Amino acid sequence: MTDLDFSKKLTPWEIVQVARHPNRPAIGEYIQGMCEDFVELHGDRAFGDDPALIGGFATIGGERVMLIGHRKGKSVEENIHANFGMANPEGYRKALRLMKLAEKYGLPVVSLVDTPGAYPGLDAEARGQAEAIARNLTEMAGLRTPFVVVITGEGGSGGALGIAVGDVVMMLQYAVYSVISPEGCASILWRDNKKAPEAAEALKITADSLKELGIIDEIISEPQGAAHSDPGKAVDNVKKAVLKHIKALQKLDTDTLVQKRYDKYAAMGR
Amino acid sequence: MGWLTKPADKTAAVSTEAIWAVCPACKAYVPRDEWNNDLRVCPRCDYHDRLTCRQRVTQICDSGSFVEINADVSVRDPLKFADASGAYADKARATVKKTGEGEAILTGNARIAGIPVVIGIMDFRFLGGSLASGTGERILLAAEAALKQRQPLILFSASGGARMHEGIVSLMQMAKTCAAIARLQQARLPYISVLTDPTTGGVSASYAMVGDVNIAEPRALIGFAGRRVIELTIKQKLPDDFQTAEYLLEHGFIDHIVHRGEMKRFLEKVLRYAAHGVAECI
C-alpha cells in the first residue's frame, strides 16, 4: 500500500486495495465528523439487532435525516463484532424499518455503503437473505422521501445495493462498486483467482468508469493520498456533497421525486 | 468368417441414449419415451428437469394464446467485456444462435384458463438464465405492459443470478426490475412469482422473492449465496435439504410447492382470487 503513487492514475486493482484500506474512514468516523447529533435506533422488530448495518436519527449541517450504513470495524474486536460489515437479513430489515420511519416523518435518508457483501451464512439463508434484499429494493424504489447514497469504500454487490437505491448515488474517488468481487469473478471466469487484477479491470468497478456508464451521479474527491491519509477532509467532502443534494431534492414535490427515481432505474442498461 | 470381420450394420444399431435416459437426480435408467412426456418429470423419482421457455409456454398458457412481446430487446454489451475464454459479445451471439432466444427471459401476452396475463419465463440454457440489461429491460417492459393493460404479471424464474459479463449494469437490473414490481404493487395488480430450478443470487434477491404469492417447483434449488461459498465461510457442512424449495417453504419464504403437472391449475386457482376485479373474464 505504501508504494502507491497517487500522483499517477491508479489501476482498478490498486483502487480496490485503497477502498479496502484498514485506515479508511468507517461509519463511526462519518457519524463523528458529519453529524451534530446521532440517535442510534436498534433492531428489526422481528429477530434481532445487526451490528453490521446501523442507523438512526442524525443531524447533518442543521438538516435532520435518517442515516443508515454498513459498519466496518476499526479494530479486530470491532470487526468481529460487526462481522466485517457483512449484514444479515435482520440488518436489511432494520434498514427498511428506518427507511419507512424516515418516510413517515418526512426525513431524507442518507445511506453510507461500505461492505464486502451480504453475509453468506447458513443462518442468513434460513432467515431469508434474498428476501430481505429483494424487499428493500422494491420498497426503496417507491419510498416517498429523498434518498441520497454514498459508496464510501466497498460496494459489494447485492449487499451494497440492498441499501443503495437512491435519487442521487455518489461515490468517493477511490471507492469501488461491483456485481462480484474481482477475486470471485477471476475464479469463475478466469478459473484463477490470481487474475483478480484483470477481472477488476474488465468489470469496470471504479468511480470514473461507473460515472461514465451512468450508474452513479457524482464522484466525491478524496484528499491527496486518499481518504485514509486525511480522514477528516474526506468526511468533510462527503458531508458537503450530501448536504447539497438533500437540499436540492427537498425542493422537489414527492410525486416528481419518486417518478424521477423510477425513470433513473428504468433507464439503467438502456 | 466374413461376418466376424465385417463391421456391424450402422443403420440397424440403436444407441443406448436413444432408448434410455439417465435421470440427473436418481441416476435411474428410464425409457426415453417415458421421460420425454410433456412435463419432463422423472417417472421414478419425480425430479423436475429444467425446461426451455417455449416448453414452459406449452405447459402453462392456453393453446395458441401466447404472443411474444419485445423480442427486439436483446443482449447488450455495456462493458465491452472479455475474459479468458474470449469476448462476451461472441459468447452471447453463439447463445442466441443455439437457443433461438434473444435473452434469458421470454415475455409475452397470454391466457391462463381464459384469464389474460402478461407472462415472463426464464430459460436456464441462455447463459445460465443470468440477469443482465436485456433481461431486466424485458422484465420492466412486461411489468409496464401489465400495468397498462391492467393484467396480472407472472414470472417464472430459472437463473444463476446476475450476469457477470455486464458487471454493475447487471447488478442495477435488480433495482430496475424491483422498481417495476413496486409499481404493480401500488396499482394493486397481482404479481405471481414461480421459482424453478435454480433460482439463486441476484434473481432470488430481487423480483423472484417478492411475489404476492411465491410458488416453487419441488426440490428446486433456491438461495442467495452459493453452497460452496457458504461452506467456506462458516467452515461447516450444510444440511442436505439446504436451499431447496422444501427448505424455503419450511422457513416461510414460499407459499406453496406445486408439482409441474398441477402448475397451470394452481395458477388458475390463485388468479381467480388475485385477479378478482382486474381481469374481465373472471
pLDDT of residue B56: 97
B82-97 burial string, b = 16+ CB within 10 Å, else e? bbeeeebeebbeebbe
Domain boundaries, chain A: 12-85+99-149+165-227
Set of chain A residues whose Cβ sits within 8 Å of the Cβ of B173: 268-269
The closest CB to that of B178, out of A125, A138, A190, belongs to A138
Q: Nearest residue on chain A to B78, judged by CA atoms?
A: A269
Neighbouring CB atoms inside 10 A of A188's CB total 14
Q: Mean pLDDT score of chain A, rounded to an integer?
A: 97
H or E element, residue B36: none
Given a contact cutoff of 8 angstroms between Cβ atoms, the answer to whether A176 and A155 are in contact is: yes
pLDDT of residue B12: 60
Q: Report which of A97, A65, A84 is spatially closest to residue A26, judged by C-alpha positions.
A: A84
Set of chain B residues whose Cβ sits within 8 Å of the Cβ of A138: 178-179, 181-182, 185, 210
CB within 8 A of B172, min separation 6: which ones? A161, A215, A265, A268, A269, B136
| A43 confidence band (pLDDT: 50, 70, 90) | very high
pLDDT of residue B17: 80
Position of cell 474517488?
A173
Set of chain B residues whose Cβ sits within 8 Å of the Cβ of A203: 79, 81, 164, 167-168
Q: B253, A128: Cβ pair inside 8 Å?
A: yes
Q: For a pLDDT cut of 90, what percent of chain A falls above it?
A: 98
d(CA B281, CA A193): 56
d(CA B254, CA B244): 11
pLDDT of residue B36: 73
Q: B182, A141: Cβ pair inside 8 Å?
A: yes
- Name A178's bridge partners: A156
Q: A191, B242: Cβ pair inside 8 Å?
A: no
d(CA A143, CA B185): 13
Q: What is the mean pLDDT of residues B49-66?
A: 97
d(CA B225, CA B200): 7
Q: Does A93 touch chain B (CB under 8 A)?
A: no
Sign of torsion over alpha carbons A30, A35, A37, A41: negative
Q: What is the complex's ipTM, to 2 decimals?
A: 0.97
Q: What is the mean pLDDT of residues A105-110?
A: 98
H or E element, residue B115: strand B115-122
In the 3-class helix/strand/coil scheme, how is B121-188 assigned residue by residue?
Answer: EECCCCHHHCECHHHHHHHHHHHHHHHHHCCCEEEEEEECCECHHHHHHHHHHHHHHHHHHHHHHHCC
The closest CB to that of A161, out of B134, B174, B226, belongs to B174
Q: A266, B140: Cβ pair inside 8 Å?
A: yes
Set of chain B residues whose Cβ sits within 8 Å of the Cβ of A133: 205-206, 224
* Residue pLDDT, tens place only, A110-146: 999 999 999 999 999 999 999 999 999 999 999 999 9
Sign of torsion over alpha carbons B244, B250, B256, B260: positive
Helix (H, G, I), strand (E, B) or coil at B84: coil
* Residue pLDDT, tens place only, B235-247: 988 998 999 999 9
Helix (H, G, I), strand (E, B) or coil at B230: helix
* Residue pLDDT, tens place only, B35-44: 777 799 998 8
Q: A269, B140: Cβ pair inside 8 Å?
A: no
Grid cell digits, residue A168: 442521487
Set of chain B residues whose Cβ sits within 8 Å of the Cβ of A195: 84
Position of cell 381481469?
B279
> In the CATH scheme, what architecture does the domain A12-85+99-149+165-227 have?
Alpha-Beta Complex (3.90)
B52-74 burial string, b = 16+ CB within 10 Å, else e? bbebbbeebbeeebbebbbeebb
Q: Give CA separation, B72 vs A20, B68, B75, B138, B238, in Å.
A: 41, 10, 10, 10, 43
B9 class by beta-carbon count within 10 Å (0-12 exposed, 13-18 middle, 19+ buried): exposed
Q: Does A260 touch chain B (CB under 8 A)?
A: no
| Chains A–B, number of C-beta pairs less than 8 Å apart | 184
pLDDT of residue B8: 62
Q: What is the mean pLDDT of residues A153-175?
A: 98
| B174 confidence band (pLDDT: 50, 70, 90) | very high
Grid cell digits, residue B224: 442467495
Q: What are the structural domains, with CATH classification, of chain B?
A: 14-47 (no CATH), 49-274 (3.90.226.10)
Q: Report which of B197, B198, B213, B205 is spatially closest to residue B254, judged by C-alpha positions.
A: B213
Neighbouring CB atoms inside 10 A of A206's CB total 27
Q: What is the mean pLDDT of residues A13-31?
A: 97
* Residue pLDDT, tens place only, A188-201: 999 998 999 999 99
B110 φ, ψ (degrees, to nearest 5)? -160, 175
pLDDT of residue B7: 63
A133 class by beta-carbon count within 10 Å (0-12 exposed, 13-18 middle, 19+ buried): buried
Q: What one-letter code names the amino acid at B223? A: G
Given a contact cutoff of 8 angstroms between Cβ atoms, the answer to whether A238 and A172 are in contact is: yes
The closest CB to that of B181, out of A120, A122, A138, belongs to A138
Q: Is the preceding peptide bond at A25 cis, omega within 30 degrees of 0? A: no
A 115-144 residues inside an 8 A Cβ radius of B: 118-122, 124-131, 133-135, 137-142
Position of cell 426415453?
B32
Grid cell digits, residue A104: 413517515
Q: Report which of B221, B196, B211 is spatially closest to residue B105, judged by C-alpha positions.
A: B196
pLDDT of residue B38: 78
Helix (H, G, I), strand (E, B) or coil at B194: strand
Q: A161, B171: Cβ pair inside 8 Å?
A: yes
Set of chain B residues whose Cβ sits within 8 Å of the Cβ of A180: 162, 164
Q: What is the mean pLDDT of residues B205-213?
A: 98
Q: What one-letter code names the amino acid at A229? A: S
The closest CB to that of A179, out of B140, B167, B242, belongs to B167
The closest CB to that of B205, out of A158, A202, A268, belongs to A158
Of residues A220 and B36, which shows the higher confidence score?
A220
Give B19 to chain A, closest Cα distance, Å.
36
Q: Report which of A99, A107, A114, A90 is spatially closest to residue A28, judged by C-alpha positions.
A: A114
N- to C-terminal Cα separation, chain B: 75
Strands B20-22 and B29-31: antiparallel
Q: A191, B84: Cβ pair inside 8 Å?
A: yes
